[in-house]
Amino acid sequence: MVSSETYKGLLEYLQAHHEILPLAANSPSRCHSSSRPRVIITFDDGWRDTSEIAQPLAREYGIPITVFVCPGLAGKSSPFWPEQVTRAWRAASRTHEASNQFAKICRGSLLRKSFLPISCGHASLEELTISLKSLPASDRDEIVQALSRLRNVDEVAGTSPAFEATMNWEDAARLVREGAEIGSHTQHHEILPALAPEKVQCELAESKRAIEDRLGSRCLLFAYPNGSWSPSVREQVIAQGYSQAFVNSAGVWTADTDPWLIPRVNLWEGSLVGICGKFSPIVFQYIAFWRSFRAARRAL
């Protein structure tokens, strides 16, 4: 997550020192005249705060953005399983009884390990999330549902704030009217290499169709959930008619880059602020450009 203040600092800095391009129909060309580094700004998952905060600010600065959405999860509160686990963890950490129930569900599942929210810190929640990611989707969903059914989860969580809810189709349509691009991030945010080929096909085809039907324009852009891909998944992305697909690993997008494995740099608050807690160009440059440059050098 990135705070509004930090995001504003980033936009101001990018506008002053970079060329910010819209994603549609853009790919790097060898004969580029500008001496300023070119960047493209994308957001994954279609969070409501992307439509309520990120887009209005980007618009204020005249900066185009691209948003990758999951149509099957549009307009929901806490639709992504990691947030559901976080909500359940938060709720369970309030009483010993709930915490013990939480641990019992984890111990009795394929995880075979106790996670006790009341006495474990954030690192354990991260460990639990990583363990859940490694399970087949159906087993993972079963555990997440059991944890979400724990008493008090909704009471404690209350109504979801914008950073825990996804935008709806009206929000997406407004973004398009305002010049933003909408791409697919699968139908349900499944980690594709873990799925059977026919399920991968559904995730790719259904999301593309839903975006095209709802927004009335072609959907040619795709971002792999979690940045996870495999050669066969990449082939299916191409077969479904996507012209460009994005991963989550640092690198430089050049004319030689595979259009279905375009690198991106993931940014969060810690990757943008300095020791004074404000946006820091040096920290941003190190995370965004130095790491990308090193990755590009290694790839040669």
Interface positions with Zn ion (CB under 5 A): 44-45, 225
Exposure b/e, 189-215, CB count within 10 A at least 16 = b: bbbbebbeeeebebbbbbbbebbeebb
Residue 97 beta carbon to Zn ion: minimum distance, rounded to whole angstroms? 34
Residue 94 beta carbon to Zn ion: minimum distance, rounded to whole angstroms? 29
Residue with smaller CB distance to Zn ion, 44 or 171: 44
Residue 87 beta carbon to Zn ion: minimum distance, rounded to whole angstroms? 18
Residue with smaller CB distance to Zn ion, 47 or 279: 47
Residue 226 beta carbon to Zn ion: minimum distance, rounded to whole angstroms? 6
- Closest-approach residue to Zn ion (CB): 44
Residue 29 beta carbon to Zn ion: minimum distance, rounded to whole angstroms? 29
Residue with smaller CB distance to Zn ion, 201 or 226: 226
Residue with smaller CB distance to Zn ion, 214 or 264: 264
Residue 59 beta carbon to Zn ion: minimum distance, rounded to whole angstroms? 23
Kindly list the distances between the CA atom of residue 91 and the CA atoms of 27, 53, 76, in Å, as whole numbers in the listed order: 46, 27, 20
Residue with smaller CB distance to Zn ion, 64 or 225: 225
Residue with smaller CB distance to Zn ion, 117 or 225: 225
Residue with smaller CB distance to Zn ion, 45 or 190: 45
Question: CB 231: neighbour CB atoms within 10 A?
Answer: 7
Residue 178 beta carbon to Zn ion: minimum distance, rounded to whole angstroms? 22
Q: Which candidate, 25, 23, 20, places its Cα nearest to that of 37?
A: 20
